[in-house]
Amino acid sequence: MADQTARQQRNDERRRGILAAARERADADGWAAVTTRHLADAIGYTQPVLYGHFPGGKSEIMLAVAMEGFVDLTRQCRAALGGERGRHAIEAVAVAYLDFGSEHPAVYEAMFQQPIDTRFASEDTDPSLRAAFHVLADAIDDDGDGAATEVFWGALHGISLLERAGRMRPEHRADRIAELGARFAADVSS
């Protein structure tokens, strides 16, 4: 039993090491630079060891990074939300979301721009994705069909991508967040 536990711990450590190396390389040079050969070299193991943990190779690694990202994004937004409601809650969650996207560009890209094998907005959507959506819904008090949350999410996603591309003035971020807060808080009170 102890031997099995030690083996599982080693496997978990290797898996975490592979994911950390993938995130680091993607943050530095983009996902195109992430290869199984590079990752195997970075963690000091052979490619067969890497494939033993991720049989689907790079696409499975990217999916794992994305799923961890959804958990992290949810945690960060949930902490920002706290017990707040109304405009303050909306703005706090918007800041948390945008900060996550700018602080973790490769993870954000894996979550929303790279082709990953997961379904959104369906009955079989992974619970991690649902939780991320629900924290956004909670921020704007959307207890309807989710359409308002999709608009809020779309606005945040668009702002995140445009900021990262340098197509929005950084000094106006607070104004954009205040505008979101005002618009979505008005919808809540209607």
Q: How far apart are CA 108 and CA 64, in angstroms?
A: 12
Taking residues 135-145, what's their average pLDDT?
94
Same domain, 49 and 70: no
* Global pTM value: 0.90
Same domain, 45 and 78: no
- pLDDT of 101-138, one tens digit each? 999 999 999 999 998 888 888 888 899 999 999 999 99
Q: SS3 helix, strand, coil % of the chain, rounded to 5?
A: 75, 0, 25
- Tell the residue number behind the tokens 């975490």, with chain if given: 16
Question: Do 140 and 131 contact (CB within 8 A), yes or no?
Answer: no
Same domain, 68 and 44: no
Same domain, 81 and 174: yes
Domain-terminating residue out of 55, 79, 97: 55
- Residue-level pLDDT at 188: 54
Same domain, 28 and 1: yes
Q: How far apart are CA 160 and CA 186, in angstroms?
A: 23
pLDDT at 190 exceeding the cut of 60: no
Q: How far apart are CA 97 and CA 21, in angstroms?
A: 24
Same domain, 93 and 176: yes
Q: By C-alpha distance, which of 75, 94, 80, 69 is closest to 151?
A: 94
- The CATH number of the domain holding residue 9 is 1.10.10
Least confident among 23-32, 111-120, 168-177: 111-120
- pLDDT of 62-75, one tens digit each? 999 999 999 999 99
pLDDT at 98 exceeding the cut of 90: yes
Same domain, 137 and 183: yes
Q: What is the CA radius of gyration of the chain?
A: 19
- Residue-level pLDDT at 123: 83
For 117, phi then psi, to 5°, come to -85, 75
For 103, phi then psi, to 5°, come to -80, -25
The number of folded domains in the chain is 2
- Residue-level pLDDT at 122: 80
Q: By C-alpha distance, which of 143, 116, 20, 128 is closest to 74?
A: 128
Which structural domain range is residue 184 located in? 58-189
Same domain, 27 and 69: no
- Reported as type and span, the H/E element at residue 21 is helix 2-29
- The CATH number of the domain holding residue 163 is 1.10.357.10
